[in-house]
């Protein structure tokens, strides 16, 4: 029984020696929505996403994916862009995708499908080293979409983008739930989450201080500030 959640974390905790980076974090991500995980830099957002994406192992707690305890086999259904996309600068967009397509054993048609989704069909033989930051970010998302994931994890996806690139990326991300792709994204930018998220979680000092549906009439800045200050006092 998954109660409509594609993903849950239960008491997720990560410790490094005496330092607790995540402290009993429990989030609930509904299918076919955009979930925004908000928090200042160093709050524990990337650590949470890396555990879900299989890049880190938690100290305790568990991840539930599609109603069952997460295993590495679930990575077939999860796409992620965390930190910088693993791109080969001397290759074209299509050639970069071909490398991963071959590893995953997917059909060649899938390359054109994902290039269409991210708006990079007209880049031809242009080398990725000559792409703008926004184009590189979109290609990174194309790589994450190759395996037709049910869940797409994006860590600070608009970092370093200009206003046009941010707007283009927002529109793309907003379209994914209609295509059956749930999005879990992290950000320290309130405006990014305000424009995209159906649900939000606010994390600070490794503690999830708030989780709930986001409504446009909510004062997100006031809520965010209150949660951050409360966690700062209690830590």
Q: What is the pLDDT of residues 125-148, one digit of tens each?
A: 999 999 988 889 999 999 999 999
Range with the poorest average pLDDT among 40-44, 53-57, 98-102: 40-44
- pLDDT score of 182 more than 90: yes
- pLDDT score of 1 more than 60: no
Structure confidence at residue 188 as a pLDDT band (50, 70, 90): confident
pLDDT at residue 127 in the model: 95
Separation of alpha carbons 28 and 45, rounded Å: 14
pLDDT at residue 190 in the model: 86
pLDDT at residue 227 in the model: 87
Q: What mean pLDDT comes out for the span 58-80?
A: 94
- Residue of 195 and 47 predicted with greater confidence: 47
As beta bridge partners, residue 22 has 14
Structure confidence at residue 235 as a pLDDT band (50, 70, 90): low
pLDDT at residue 63 in the model: 96
Helices marked H in 89-209 — which ranges? 93-104, 109-118, 133-145, 163-175, 190-196
Nearest to 35 by CA among 200, 175, 158: 200
- CA distance between the termini of the chain: 35
Structure tokens at 109: 């048609």
Cβ proximity of 221 and 228 under 8 Å: no
pLDDT at residue 2 in the model: 54
Q: What is the CATH number of the domain that holds 85?
A: 3.40.50.300
- Please work out, in degrees rounded to the nearest 5, the angle formed at the alpha carbon of residue 13 by the alpha carbons of 11 and 15: 165
Q: What is the residue range of 155's domain? A: 5-234
Q: Please count the other Cβ atoms lying within 10 Å of the Cβ belonging to residue 87.
A: 17
Give 144's contacts (C-beta < 8 A, 6+ positions apart): 79, 80, 81, 152, 153, 154
Separation of alpha carbons 174 and 163, rounded Å: 16
191-224 pLDDT, tens digit per residue, is: 888 888 999 999 999 999 999 998 877 788 888 8
- pLDDT score of 10 more than 50: yes
pLDDT at residue 167 in the model: 87
Structure tokens at 87: 């791109």
As beta bridge partners, residue 9 has 63
Maximal CA-CA distance, the chain: 54
Please provide the average confidence, as pLDDT, over all residues in the chain. 90
pLDDT at residue 181 in the model: 95
Structure tokens at 147: 């395996």
Separation of alpha carbons 173 and 169, rounded Å: 6
Q: How many domains does the chain have?
A: 1
- Residue of 77 and 83 predicted with greater confidence: 77
96-132 pLDDT, tens digit per residue, is: 999 989 988 899 999 999 999 998 988 889 999 999 8
Separation of alpha carbons 207 and 234, rounded Å: 10
């Amino acid at each position: 029984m998954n109660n409509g959640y594609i993903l849950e974390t239960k008491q997720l905790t990560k410790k490094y020696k005496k330092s607790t980076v995540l402290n009993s974090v429990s989030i609930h991500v509904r299918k076919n929505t955009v979930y925004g995980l908000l928090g200042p830099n160093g709050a524990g957002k990337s650590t949470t996403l890396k555990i879900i994406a299989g890049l880190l192992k938690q100290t305790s707690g568990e991840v539930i994916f599609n109603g069952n305890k997460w295993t590495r086999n679930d990575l077939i259904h999860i796409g992620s862009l965390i930190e910088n996309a693993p791109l080969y600068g001397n290759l074209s967009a299509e050639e970069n995708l071909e490398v991963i397509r071959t590893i995953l054993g997917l059909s060649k048609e899938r390359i054109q499908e994902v290039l269409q989704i991210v708006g990079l069909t007209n880049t031809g033989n242009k080398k990725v080293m000559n792409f703008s930051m926004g184009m590189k970010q979109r290609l990174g998302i194309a790589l994450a979409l190759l395996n037709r994931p049910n869940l797409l994890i994006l860590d600070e996806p608009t970092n370093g983008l200009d206003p046009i690139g941010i707007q283009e990326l927002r529109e793309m991300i907003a379209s994914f739930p209609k295509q059956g792709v749930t999005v879990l994204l992290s950000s320290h930018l309130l405006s990014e989450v305000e424009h995209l998220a159906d649900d939000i979680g606010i994390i600070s000092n490794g503690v999830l201080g708030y989780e709930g549906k986001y409504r446009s009439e909510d004062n997100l800045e006031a809520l965010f500030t209150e949660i951050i200050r409360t966690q700062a006092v209690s830590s």
